[in-house]
Structure 1
Amino acid sequence: MKILHTSDWHLGQHFMGKTRREEHKAFIEWLLTVVEQESIEAVIIAGDVFDTGSPPSYAREMYHQLVLEMRARACQLVVIAGNHDSVSMLNESKSLLAYLDVQVISQADLSDIESHIVPLKNRQGKEAAWLCAVPYLRPKDIVQSQSGQSEQDKKEDLLEQIKDFYLRLYQLASKRNAERKQPLPIIGTGHLTAFGSQLSESVRDLYVGTLDTLPTSVFPPFDYLALGHIHRPQAIGNNGCFRYSGSPIALSFDELGREKSVVIIDTNLLSKDKQVMDDLFAEQEDPVLLKKVPSFQPMVSLQGDLQSLLTQIEYLSCEEGKTIWLEVSVVADDYLSDLHKQLMEAVEAKPIELLRVMRKRTQGEISVTFTERQTLSELSVEEVFDRSVAASLELKDEEKSALSQLFQQCLEEMNEQTEGDDKVEKDTVE
């Protein structure tokens, strides 16, 4: 069978005040066409199907319509929860969607390890692969903290528990294979940051407890590992079968210049028996195919001095009926007070929306005046906090370090609130 791996849709996202509704609609229509043309029999969304724990109603409608469209195409759908997804919101329709051949894995459940083994079936209804479905892991779901543990001990214990969880799932799938005459490929999932992966601006730091990255050694020898969270499509490891599909649309300007894609996996070619070729001189087929996702929204990032930027903007063009979302980085030693005015005049009467203006120095240290006049839109949350702490002269170095750690914990707790574990708004005004 053929399986399609995708992730990080972030339905309901607003990008610098702009809705992504039409982009997501166009992507889903394109995806359904791919399902038909490529004879896809199962789709795995490896986390962050939604952007927040309480997405707007139109995003939920897209999600439920997707389910119906997949059902109409006899294509199995597996939804893995990411760190942006609300466990309780996904659980609201989980039981109902199961009747429509949709499996939703919202959180790790050590008391029901069997529920994480999802049989992937071909159109004939026969099992063709085992999916070890692992969502974004919360420490409270897989480990209990013990008093007296140091931070290092907690990290090592958590890492061991994650590794054990994956191993138990792999062993259970292997046991099922042992009961069959012909073993099936074993596929894993994960929504995390693997060591060595390349991040982008739109990817928030993701901690599993106090672990910011996980080594690939925690994963068993899956035939394929479908990863989510990192928005740049990339392979982890040497064989190309541990892979981030990446987000289908650019979620930040620094993701431009790299093709967006979904991954198509052919389980017949994943089978270990297929690794032995009858003809040693025959060219072996790759079980993994990257399918390029079209760009549904023109986005451009320009950099240079003011005069260079004005010239570049003059030559910008795009498809009729489309509007370019533009980010500019102005390289200058002095703070230009009329910068925004000149840029707005340059894009006037053009199909361009100027979404962000950044300022960069050409050389030397950034002057106090230059720094003071930077706007909040040019700074990250962490940079704002770091500058506030640095400005507090009465604080000692160790106090600044402690504050930084507490701030990071607060950010993580605030991000956890978006999951809506305790309460999800039943309706959100668009």
Structure 2
Amino acid sequence: MRLFHTSDWHLGQTLHGQERDHEHACFLQWLLRQLKEQRPDVLLIAGDVFDTVNPPVKAQERLYNFIVDAHEQQPQLTIVMIAGNHDSGSRIELPATLMRRLRTHALGRVSWLDDGVLDSERLLLPLPDANGAIAGWCLALPFLRPAEVTGQHLGDDYLQGIGRVHDMLIAAAQARRQPGQALIAISHAHMAGGSVSLDSERNLIVGSAEALPASLFGSDIGYVALGHLHKPQRVNGEERIRYSGSPLPLSFAEIDYPHQILDVRLDGETLASVETLRVPRAVELLRVGPLPLAEVLARLAELPELDLLAELLQQPWLEVRVRLDEPQPDLRQQIELALQNKAVRLVRIAAEYAGKADASDAESQLLELGQLSPFDLFGRAWQDAYGSEIDAQVLSDFALLLQDVQMEDPTA
């Protein structure tokens, strides 16, 4: 059996307010070509399909047109798609009945039967091979929110709730599969030891239970297709537990990531190989600095000149980072003047001051604010109000509240 492992498409994402639909369209066209040429049996999309819980209409059209096109060119292809922490589980599942006619399974949440037993039937999916025989079973584990795995009859411990879901689903899969059939897990989670992109990955911390142990996936699982971390990586060095990474850089911090999808092959129950397919970058991301202003302006002067016949949508995005000794009221004007007739699209200017740590520098405090996470801000406010560090219970309560807010307002 052959699988394509992808994740973190983040359809509808904007880069500092700039739409990136062209880049997503190029990726999906490339992926369609790979599916046509390579003919895998299964395409896995491991969460964060959209960038927000209320994605733009154009982003939704991109997804559903892709699914239709993939099915038309390869009717035997099975697609499994789960919700990530950026997604709305109910939105992902809304067209599930229609998508099943296109051999696409959309799972956004877990649910429980009246006796406190996991409804594993809906999370356990058969994976046919090219001949139509069931070659394996997919264990679909969308991002597990605290409300789904804790509460009445389930207990209040988040990690224990996650462990309970994994144990029940794996037990159901082991009971269902026949000899020679592989078990494939698809999950959206932060596994312990994973390398995080702080600029674009929303924190999954809930109290002290941020990262999940790889031991959740026992050796019976032939391959674990993970989503959430944008940098491709193995978990604890294990070949069978992998993050495919995002198909395009979602922030300037990800410029050097090797964006890719994974081509996974299994021989019966056993993982045979994992190969990378690099995703061509439709639009480059450029960063100049951090450097003193004079050096920044010199670097900008070296950028290529604008070609009026070139496609505007293919011009690189540019971030400029400047080190200053004192405020420069005309900083933006100087940079924009230097960029006249240059073949780039400026999306961000960041200034760093030599005296940034000085609490009396009001502007420096404002500049720092945008670089702090909600947890950093809450910690500082708590320290100012009470003169002590936050204890674990307060931090856990804040994390749950923040998740509720982010579900209602994806910009939070």
Instruction: Select the structure that is richer in strand.
Output: 2
Q: Is residue 2:105 matched to residue 1:103?
A: yes
Conservation of the 8 A alpha-carbon contact between 2:42 and 2:127: yes
Match of 1:369 in 2: 361
Letter in 1 for 2:343: P
- Identify the match of residue 308 of structure 1 among 295, 306, 328: 295
- Identify the match of residue 283 of structure 2 among 297, 307, 310: 297
- Cα gap change, 1:265/1:117 in structure 2, threshold over 3 Å: closer, same or farther? same
Measured in 2, the distance between the counterparts of 1:396 and 1:189 equals 43
Conservation of the 8 A alpha-carbon contact between 1:139 and 1:209: no
Aligned residues: 394
Match of 1:425 in 2: none
Q: Is residue 2:321 matched to residue 1:329?
A: yes
- 1:35-82 deviations in Å (ceiling 9; x for gaps): 112121210101111112221111111111112112111221111111
- 1:342-367 deviations in Å (ceiling 9; x for gaps): 11111112122221122234588446
Measured in 2, the distance between the counterparts of 1:160 and 1:391 equals 31
- Identify the match of residue 414 of structure 1 among 393, 396, 405: 405
- 1:199-234 deviations in Å (ceiling 9; x for gaps): 111001113576221121222222111111111111
Measured in 2, the distance between the counterparts of 1:235 and 1:262 equals 13
- Cα gap change, 1:373/1:81 in structure 2, threshold over 3 Å: closer, same or farther? closer
Alpha-carbon shift at residue 248 of structure 1 (Å) = 0.8
5+ residue gaps in structure 1? 275-285, 420-430
Match of 1:204 in 2: 202
- 1:373-422 deviations in Å (ceiling 9; x for gaps): 74488434538845973895xx2224977987765444322112258xxx
- 1:119-159 deviations in Å (ceiling 9; x for gaps): 11122211112111111112222232689x9xxxx4xx332
Measured in 2, the distance between the counterparts of 1:391 and 1:127 equals 57
SS at match of 1:54: coil
Measured in 1, the distance between the counterparts of 2:285 and 2:294 equals 21
Structure number with greater CO (CA < 8 Å, separation at least 6) is: 1
Conservation of the 8 A alpha-carbon contact between 1:84 and 1:418: no
Q: Is residue 2:175 matched to residue 1:175?
A: yes
Alpha-carbon shift at residue 104 of structure 1 (Å) = 1.0
Conservation of the 8 A alpha-carbon contact between 1:262 and 1:293: yes
**TM-score (norm. length: structure 1):** 0.83
Measured in 2, the distance between the counterparts of 1:388 and 1:235 equals 34
5+ residue gaps in structure 2? 114-118
- Identify the match of residue 136 of structure 2 among 122, 129, 135: 129
Q: Which deviates further from its counterpart, 376-385 or 168-177?
A: 376-385
SS at match of 1:344: helix
Q: Which deviates further from its counterpart, 30-39 or 378-387?
A: 378-387
- Cα gap change, 1:146/1:208 in structure 2, threshold over 3 Å: closer, same or farther? farther
Letter in 1 for 2:387: D
C-alpha RMSD of matched pairs (Å): 2.9
**TM-score (norm. length: structure 2):** 0.86
Measured in 2, the distance between the counterparts of 1:211 and 1:10 equals 25
Measured in 2, the distance between the counterparts of 1:384 and 1:158 equals 22
Match of 1:85 in 2: 87
